[in-house]
A and B are shown apart, each in its own frame.
Chain A
């Protein structure tokens, strides 16, 4: 497949901005605290990497979505953001109806900032609300409180942003289900277009994992996961935000196009430290990544440390740390694992999958319409196992016997 042919499908771009004002103890993303002096050299490195990515065969190709994630991209000053987005437009192009998202923290978000983003063409903001309970926010180590979160929502909506998404975290040990419910109700009264609702995950290697291991922090309670997940779904759907993925709720038409791309197996470019991209073998070839004939895709990931990243981009033009070829079987596993997360479900192709799916339908975990499998609400709660069932056993090669045992 040539790089040109690959571009028949929409292409997305993820840009990682690793800077944060504080380190939230539960976070395992690639981030740097403070480091203002790194902002400019970093953005310049990202711009340089973007040019190299485009030279792989996607120059001037209109991007369907651009996502500025972090870290805290909202920490970047207006000029740096402008430089960055101009570089994106120069290296590629952004489709006229392109979705451009920035992740933002509620802390000190001003009207000027919000209007500035809109002026740059940013048309979607993902706001890290996390909770509307001050005690929980303190436990999470966030540097904002409830009133700042609500003020940020008002500022963004006041500036004319229609496509606002708010992140919430549930199963916080400090937050009772009642308090969590009150938070959702309060948030829903602002009618955001989109809500992402994640369970608190104790990721290995984070300060939170350390505190839990030391007994200094409580681990999330198993029963809260399901109780609060179900509660969130009920309340949000009642407010017109429909669950379209395991953790994501949106008003019809306001689903995150960028994130849907991940779940639907579309290609995405990535620039910046710690970022992951997924492209065709043809495009990877344009960057000098060689693949075997069995490859149907290439996933790559960048260096996690910003300084190292800047250095390598200076030397090589890219920040790539590693890559893997995806073969047909792996793509199929990913397609199922990601596709089942979606309200629209996934097409099943193999007869064995359909047979297993029928068993799962009987257990009330799936519905089947034709060959399209859709997880039910109970199915979503055990989705990883459902996926495993549908994938079936790994084919194993016939064992190679050793020579006769001669003692």
Chain B
């Protein structure tokens, strides 16, 4: 094929045919050992020496390592000398492990022919894992189950094998027992990748079709696009077109991940790698889009492209007004690398100038918030997250409202529709009651209940408003199942409901950033709980502060924060002055984190109070 090897690539790799390529990813629940297994594979294939192996090699962000989750997809190429004496090219695509990033996961899976399903030998299959397995099966992937952590004393590998057989239908004996930590069984996993997973099929001579499964922004090189070439060839100089977003670019470089980027002459059908084409913005390289050649375009794009859109919105406001510009710059920078993050300027009477940001989900929101505070030293107030409501006005206008404060007056509204999801929960039988109760409380409609034989665990399906999930649902799920339940959801559509806006008044003035949209029947209960919660988090001021909840101007609940009665230290002599001043300095910094609304100081947590209403 006339390919030249570049850099450190061994010559035999260059002549590999697609029959010796295996593209696969790892499907696992958080903490089931995906990253450890990936590390072990890198080590055993000699891709990374044990010396250079930092733990969780593929999770490159500090946040990922700390939280033990993968946020961005990664790819790495390994060479494996199999027992048949041949050398194979493995492309491992590591996928994000959270429901917020479900679409990214599906595209990463679409770039593969197979997947390792890693299940903790003491935990069994979780809802999230199951959702991803179904996704992989729908995409026609071969699955090799791995029962991991068999070295742990509480491991019951046989039981988990049976579970995999029953739930997914893969015979128990095909599940590989392993411990990524000790290395046991990892050799069998490597062999199974060769023998059980199919090589890619694709026509190197057909018009180019390459799937974008991720991209990242590199400060020096611009956007690096992660691709799987399905048909044709991709090389530097190729004029490419993004089939969905229609952008055209000239390819400057193609290469592979070992795991650092190494340039090669060409990526052909079946291969996984990257391309750099002076693309300035990650938005020009949408995950799921198909890359083709301008001069010889493919007739049809690869299936499955979807415009990723935010599901959850929240306002981000700098505590200090001066930080507004800093926040804007920080969001710009994060957006360079996060195509799913959207933001637009927002003004709140209570909080001043800020941004309405759209996120894929709550975890995505938390990650963005944490990165802004950590990497950009911003002191932020985040308002309670909201979903987008479809509002039809009496005059026939349709609106999409992602900020409760912008909900028009009741009199003008014909209908309000809220987004609903299909929620799947895997829960041990003994906690089923509590979880069903939780779903009922959150206006869930029961869809179905299946027991996974031998009956210890249930797969519960509910149809439920998305807005109910984003408020403290996950924490409740975990606490009511002692940590054992797991969940997955997908948007199913919109449905009209009796929804109202619940306003909060502090010391007589409405605090726009505290408004939420709730179901009419729950308004008074929620209002009462919200004002009670606010009473706890708003510190005593020099005067009495009334906190009221109102619907349509009618007050439905009220609490009072009594005035501060005593705040003075009796003694202050020569030896006390320094201590006194330091205390004052500390308190002044504390005030920094509060927002003054009218004459009342409201701490950050008040704006999130709605999240922790236990119902």
A binding-site residues for B, Cβ under 8 Å: 14, 197-199, 201, 222, 225-226, 246-247, 259, 262-263, 268, 270, 274-278, 299, 301, 324, 330, 333-334, 337-338, 341, 359-360, 363, 365, 380-389, 391-394, 396, 398-407
B585 in complex: contacting residue of A274, A333, A380, A400, CB < 8 Å: A333
- Find chain A residues with CB under 8 A from B216 CB: 406-407
CB within 8 Å for A247 and B581 given contacts A389-B542, A401-B329, A407-B72: no
A393 in complex: contacting residue of B218, B376, B543, B591, CB < 8 Å: B591
CB within 8 Å for A246 and B568 given contacts A399-B326, A406-B217: yes
Taking a contact as CB atoms under 8 Å apart, the answer to whether A396 and B219 are in contact is no
Taking a contact as CB atoms under 8 Å apart, the answer to whether B565 and A398 are in contact is no
- Find chain A residues with CB under 8 A from B577 CB: 262, 276, 278, 299, 334, 337-338
- Find chain A residues with CB under 8 A from B571 CB: 198, 201, 247
Nearest Cβ distance between residue B95 and chain A, in whole angstroms? 15
CA distance A382 to B336 in the complex (A): 50
CB within 8 Å for A299 and B578 given contacts A201-B570, A384-B569: yes
Taking a contact as CB atoms under 8 Å apart, the answer to whether A405 and B218 are in contact is no
Per-residue CB contact flags for chain B residues 545-575 toward chain A (1 = under 8 Å, else 0) read: 0000000000000000000111111111111
Task: Say yes or no for B589: interface residue by CB 8 A criterion.
Answer: yes
Per-residue CB contact flags for chain B residues 165-186 toward chain A (1 = under 8 Å, else 0) read: 0000000000000000000000
- Find chain B residues with CB under 8 A from A402 CB: 375-376
A386 in complex: contacting residue of B377, B542, B574, CB < 8 Å: B542
**For B329, B572, B588, which residue has the most chain A Cβ atoms within 10 angstroms?**
B572
CA distance A276 to B578 in the complex (A): 9
A383 in complex: contacting residue of B218, B219, B567, CB < 8 Å: B567
Taking a contact as CB atoms under 8 Å apart, the answer to whether A382 and B375 are in contact is no
CA distance A337 to B582 in the complex (A): 11
Taking a contact as CB atoms under 8 Å apart, the answer to whether A384 and B581 are in contact is no
Nearest Cβ distance between residue A304 and chain B, in whole angstroms? 10
Taking a contact as CB atoms under 8 Å apart, the answer to whether B574 and A14 are in contact is yes
Interchain Cβ contacts under 8 Å between A and B, 9 examples:
A337-B577, A360-B542, A392-B588, A393-B591, A399-B377, A401-B329, A401-B375, A405-B334, A406-B337
B566 in complex: contacting residue of A226, A275, A388, CB < 8 Å: A226
Nearest Cβ distance between residue B215 and chain A, in whole angstroms? 11
Taking a contact as CB atoms under 8 Å apart, the answer to whether B334 and A381 are in contact is no
Per-residue CB contact flags for chain B residues 368-402 toward chain A (1 = under 8 Å, else 0) read: 00010001111000000000000000000000000
Taking a contact as CB atoms under 8 Å apart, the answer to whether B592 and A396 are in contact is yes
CB nearest to B323 among chain A residues:
A399
B588 in complex: contacting residue of A276, A381, A391, CB < 8 Å: A391
- Find chain A residues with CB under 8 A from B376 CB: 399, 401-402
- Find chain A residues with CB under 8 A from B572 CB: 246, 262-263, 337-338, 341
B binding-site residues for A, Cβ under 8 Å: 60-61, 72, 216-220, 320, 322-323, 326, 329-330, 333-334, 336-337, 371, 375-378, 542-543, 564-575, 577-578, 580-581, 584-585, 587-589, 591-592, 599
Nearest Cβ distance between residue A220 and chain B, in whole angstroms? 11
CB nearest to A383 among chain B residues:
B568
CA distance A274 to B567 in the complex (A): 27
CA distance A399 to B333 in the complex (A): 15
**For A301, A337, A365, which residue has the most chain B Cβ atoms within 10 angstroms?**
A337
CB within 8 Å for A275 and B588 given contacts A398-B322, A407-B216: no
CA distance A384 to B570 in the complex (A): 10
- Find chain B residues with CB under 8 A from A226 CB: 565-566
Nearest Cβ distance between residue B567 and chain A, in whole angstroms? 5
Taking a contact as CB atoms under 8 Å apart, the answer to whether B570 and A198 are in contact is yes
CA distance A225 to B564 in the complex (A): 13
Taking a contact as CB atoms under 8 Å apart, the answer to whether B574 and A268 are in contact is yes
CA distance A214 to B592 in the complex (A): 35
CB nearest to B573 among chain A residues:
A262
CA distance A263 to B585 in the complex (A): 18
Nearest 6 A/B pairs, CB to CB: A276-B575, A383-B568, A399-B377, A198-B570, A404-B219, A382-B567
CB within 8 Å for A199 and B570 given contacts A359-B599, A387-B584: yes
**For A198, A263, A363, A401, which residue has the most chain B Cβ atoms within 10 angstroms?**
A401
CA distance A381 to B337 in the complex (A): 54
Nearest Cβ distance between residue A133 and chain B, in whole angstroms? 19
Taking a contact as CB atoms under 8 Å apart, the answer to whether B567 and A385 are in contact is yes
Name 4 extra pairs, CB < 8 A, besides A222-B566, A392-B588, A405-B334. A382-B567, A396-B320, A401-B333, A407-B60
- Find chain B residues with CB under 8 A from A247 CB: 570-571
CA distance A367 to B217 in the complex (A): 59
Nearest Cβ distance between residue A157 and chain B, in whole angstroms? 25
CA distance A263 to B78 in the complex (A): 73
CB nearest to A198 among chain B residues:
B570
Taking a contact as CB atoms under 8 Å apart, the answer to whether A404 and B217 are in contact is yes
Taking a contact as CB atoms under 8 Å apart, the answer to whether A398 and B326 are in contact is yes
CA distance A407 to B337 in the complex (A): 8
- Find chain B residues with CB under 8 A from A403 CB: 219
Taking a contact as CB atoms under 8 Å apart, the answer to whether A324 and B578 are in contact is yes
CB within 8 Å for A381 and B336 given contacts A388-B584, A388-B588, A405-B375: no
B584 in complex: contacting residue of A278, A337, A341, CB < 8 Å: A337
Taking a contact as CB atoms under 8 Å apart, the answer to whether A394 and B589 are in contact is yes
CA distance A394 to B379 in the complex (A): 14
Taking a contact as CB atoms under 8 Å apart, the answer to whether A274 and B575 are in contact is yes
CA distance A235 to B334 in the complex (A): 65
CA distance A354 to B565 in the complex (A): 23
- Find chain B residues with CB under 8 A from A396 CB: 320, 322, 592
Nearest Cβ distance between residue B73 and chain A, in whole angstroms? 10
CA distance A406 to B222 in the complex (A): 10
Taking a contact as CB atoms under 8 Å apart, the answer to whether A363 and B543 are in contact is yes
CB within 8 Å for A246 and B570 given contacts A276-B575, A391-B588, A393-B588: yes
- Find chain B residues with CB under 8 A from A259 CB: 573
- Find chain B residues with CB under 8 A from A333 CB: 581, 584-585
- Find chain A residues with CB under 8 A from B567 CB: 381-385
Taking a contact as CB atoms under 8 Å apart, the answer to whether A405 and B574 are in contact is no
CB nearest to A384 among chain B residues:
B567
Nearest Cβ distance between residue A254 and chain B, in whole angstroms? 18
CA distance A247 to B571 in the complex (A): 7
CB nearest to A375 among chain B residues:
B568
CA distance A396 to B334 in the complex (A): 24
Nearest Cβ distance between residue A278 and chain B, in whole angstroms? 7
Taking a contact as CB atoms under 8 Å apart, the answer to whether A399 and B588 are in contact is no
